[in-house]
Structure 1
Amino acid sequence: MDYDAPVIYGLEFQSRALTSYSAENDLVQFFVGTQSLRCTNQIHLITFDDEANSISKQIFNHPEGEIWSLATPPSQKNILTSVYSKVNGNKTEMQATVWKFISEDGDISISDEENTITSTLTEIFKINNSDLGDIKGFLWYPSVEKNDFVVLIENHIQLYSLDINGSSAALISETMIDGKLHPKFTTGIWDPHHNCTSIVTAQDTSVKGWDLRSMKQTYTIENAHTYLVRNLSYNPNKQYYVASCGDDCKAKFWDVRKVNEPVKILNDHSHWVWNVKYNHFHDQLVLTSSSDGTVLLNNLSSISSEPFGNLLNDEDGDDDNEADKNDHHSTLADGIVMRYDEHEDSVYALEWSSSDPWLFASLSYDGRLVMSRVPRSIKYQILL
């Protein structure tokens, strides 16, 4: 059977926050955060056993408000960041906290409905810049070399360095854009190339690049989408390629050296596209998710770092190997290779596993978390 059945985990509350455990290289683990106005919100650490096709969980009480996003640094285990909404007087603010937690591997199986143990998060550092505005994004440094992070606050970019052993973070640099001429930040990602000195942000319908050394803008893709840009993803293997998606129901792929038009457009969803995600290892595999309740796995070999696939070595005049090449080319055509329909609500979050390149998790607003796999036929075509 080419397609392995997905594994589904249900949360009690609505949810839209999901992230992979970046520092964990051996286990398939994800964090999920809830959005509840009435009860204490929770963060679930989900561990997936691929061999047993089963899930175990560890639950943390989140002492703050509704969780809007989660992030983990690749440099440190047992560190987690949440961005959440909190009522302060007569207004609601978006704040962020860096937490420390104790992981208990294989804590509780999903079949154990009684005596669920709730663990505790310990606050390391809180970011509350209410005088600057709401926090729009929290971006950890994308490699293990540093504990730096970037905070996007409406019209501000702030670069911090975190002291993991203490309870403080030093502000390294910051910049502010003119709010009268430029819309507020909506999301952002770190550029994993160029010694990790750049980030990419979305502001309404535009996409912009920033050099963190000078805190200056490096490029602008004006009107990248007709409506709001929802998500960005950087190609891990091609240093100038960025993907974006938005409320125009499209995902677009850009070479930031040529910003006048995208190198490719996907127009396969029937509603807003909330996520576009490059595979961390095989950049021809790209996931998208939408308010239409579907997740699509796309093969985009033509704009990947291996546009002709991972071909066998051959010698001149070897007709058999040439035949293998042609066959391999034909099986790696661009397009949708799998449609996942396990959700019944808007799929607000989507993440590849940090430890298994063939597995990903998707999360819909009704609290349904789905563990899915790349079809084996696609996996073998990429590897062979």
Structure 2
Amino acid sequence: MEDDAPVIYGLEFQARALTAQTAETDAIRFLVGTQSLRYDNQIHVIDFDDENNIINKNVLLHHVGEIWQICASPADKNVLATCYNKTSDSKVASCAAVWRIPKELQAGSHEVPDDSSNNTQTLELLCHLDNDAQSSMACITWEPLGDGKKIMSLAENYLMIWDLQESSTKAMISSSATLEGKGQLKFTSGRWSPHHNCTQVATANDTAIRGWDIRSMRQIYCIDNAHGQLVRDLDFNPNKQYYLASCGDDCRVKFWDTRNVNEPVKTLEEHSHWVWSVRYNHSHDQLVLTGSSDSRVILSNMVSISSEPFGHLVDDEDLSDQEDNQHDEKTKEPLQDSIIATYEEHEDSVYAVEWSSADPWLFASLSYDGRLVINRVPRALKYNILL
């Protein structure tokens, strides 16, 4: 099973920001952002060579500060956005900006030997997402199926949709909404739904999850106490339009049908500490990845609430009558949900997990000590799903 062995890459700085390249995906590429207070921060462009099981990397300087979140443009593989902290006059502000990978690296050239840090390239700034609440940008996310012209940002209690103009060198707020209620309400994370023509987003604040229609900027649902403690992350099922996964500091992962938010459809309680990240597989939505500060990555098979709860259904014409009856018996019961694998390669909190956009069987996880691990879905399960 040589093929299932993990590939590990160590960054010299702490890191918590990870994303997969989503545009033009033939290459398996991940972007990692560092958090260093003493040195210039970096974005590591990690290209995974699947055939030889090796990683090629390029390092780009991100002079402006510690990177809290990174997301790749869905339309241009050389464009990305970051949420970062900058310190000035001993005040810390959280900002967001859109960047371009410099031309020299765009062809995926890896001529630079690993130790020559002196010719590190610098990211090219396209624009800042400037707003009045800019001192506390919590999260940014691109419109998933768009042309790379729309970004959502969450700062304090403001939800903003930005239009990027003039080749992304200018950002204008096209619509915004304010989270209202008692106390100091603050968004912590958000996701843009790939369904309903990308007109809906979900946000998390404290223990609540809310859905918004971005045409009217009104709330369409609210799950008040979705988790017992802070909600850390959200993800939409790519194939089932009302299904949303959430995770949080109550160590749980929950699955919701947003048409009926009184109860979760399913709850997973496999982690023993805060769950920071949850991700549905883009092609096979029964595969769900979670990462936690218990240092573990768990791959679950949530087949009962997937778009194929009975496995692949066989055409009736393929079966004789006798087989037909047995077949009916067999497919009435949804398949059982299970934990497929627990990955223990990390020694520190796992802040992010991401599926590759180019290879549905491959994923990366990142822990705070700067360790990036690339893993594959176990081969037996892969063939089980495919065949």
Return 300-309 or 117-126, whichever deviates more.
Answer: 117-126
Aligned letter for 2:154?
A: L
How many aligned residue pairs are there? 382
Structure 1 pair 47/3, CA: closer, same or farther in 2 (3 Å)?
closer
Return 85-94 or 270-279, whichever deviates more.
Answer: 85-94
1:115 aligns with 116
Percent identity over the alignment is 52
2:289 aligns with 287
Cα deviations by residue, 1:316-352 (Å, 9 ceiling, x for unpaired): 5454577688789999531101111110100001101
Tell me whether 1:258 sits opposite 2:244 in the alignment: no
1:11 aligns with 11
1:214 aligns with 216
Aligned letter for 2:216?
A: S
1:133 Cα shift?
Answer: 4.3
Summarize the alignment of residues 112-261 of structure 1 with structure 2, pairs less than 5 Å apart. 112-116=113-117, 117-131=119-133, 133-163=135-165, 165=167, 167-178=169-180, 180-181=182-183, 183-261=185-263
Structure 1 pair 326/39, CA: closer, same or farther in 2 (3 Å)?
farther
Tell me whether 1:367 sits opposite 2:370 in the alignment: yes
1:45 aligns with 45
Gaps spanning 5+ residues in structure 1: where? none
Structure 1 pair 373/151, CA: closer, same or farther in 2 (3 Å)?
same
Cα deviations by residue, 1:29-72 (Å, 9 ceiling, x for unpaired): 00001000001110000000111101000110011111000001
1:331/1:381 contact within 8 Å kept: no
1:118 Cα shift?
Answer: 1.1
Structure 1 pair 5/321, CA: closer, same or farther in 2 (3 Å)?
farther
1:75 Cα shift?
Answer: 1.4
Structure 1 pair 94/310, CA: closer, same or farther in 2 (3 Å)?
same
Summarize the alignment of residues 317-336 of structure 1 with structure 2, pairs less than 5 Å apart. 317-319=320-322, 333-336=336-339
Aligned partners of 2:37, 2:50: CA distance in 1, in Å? 34
Return 321-330 or 63-72, whichever deviates more.
Answer: 321-330
2:345 aligns with 342
Q: Structure 2-normalised TM-score?
A: 0.93
Cα deviations by residue, 1:232-258 (Å, 9 ceiling, x for unpaired): 010000000000000000000000111
Q: Structure 1-normalised TM-score?
A: 0.94
1:4/1:375 contact within 8 Å kept: yes
Structure 1 pair 303/131, CA: closer, same or farther in 2 (3 Å)?
closer
Structure 1 pair 355/176, CA: closer, same or farther in 2 (3 Å)?
same
Q: CA RMSD in A?
A: 2.1
2:85 aligns with 85
Aligned partners of 1:318, 1:360: CA distance in 2, in Å? 43
1:145 Cα shift?
Answer: 3.7
1:22 is paired with a residue whose SS is coil
1:31 aligns with 31
Structure 1 pair 207/104, CA: closer, same or farther in 2 (3 Å)?
same
Aligned letter for 1:368?
A: R
Aligned partners of 2:79, 2:238: CA distance in 1, in Å? 23
Gaps spanning 5+ residues in structure 2: where? none
Cα deviations by residue, 1:116-172 (Å, 9 ceiling, x for unpaired): 441121111112335464111111010144511111111111111112525212221
Return 170-179 or 86-95, whichever deviates more.
Answer: 170-179
1:277/1:352 contact within 8 Å kept: yes
1:150 is paired with a residue whose SS is strand
Return 87-96 or 65-74, whichever deviates more.
Answer: 87-96
Aligned letter for 1:86?
A: K
Aligned partners of 1:141, 1:32: CA distance in 2, in Å? 20
Aligned partners of 1:84, 1:246: CA distance in 2, in Å? 22
User: Which of 372, 376, 380 is residue 377 of structure 1 equivalent to?
Assistant: 380
Structure 1 pair 215/16, CA: closer, same or farther in 2 (3 Å)?
same
1:352 aligns with 355
Aligned partners of 1:324, 1:61: CA distance in 2, in Å? 58
Q: Which runs of 4+ in 1 moved over 6 A?
A: 321-331
Aligned letter for 1:282?
A: H
Cα deviations by residue, 1:169-200 (Å, 9 ceiling, x for unpaired): 22211122236456210000001100001100
1:58/1:108 contact within 8 Å kept: no
1:77 Cα shift?
Answer: 2.2
Aligned partners of 1:190, 1:308: CA distance in 2, in Å? 28
Structure 1 pair 60/364, CA: closer, same or farther in 2 (3 Å)?
same
Structure 1 pair 322/341, CA: closer, same or farther in 2 (3 Å)?
farther
Aligned letter for 2:344?
A: D
2:269 aligns with 267
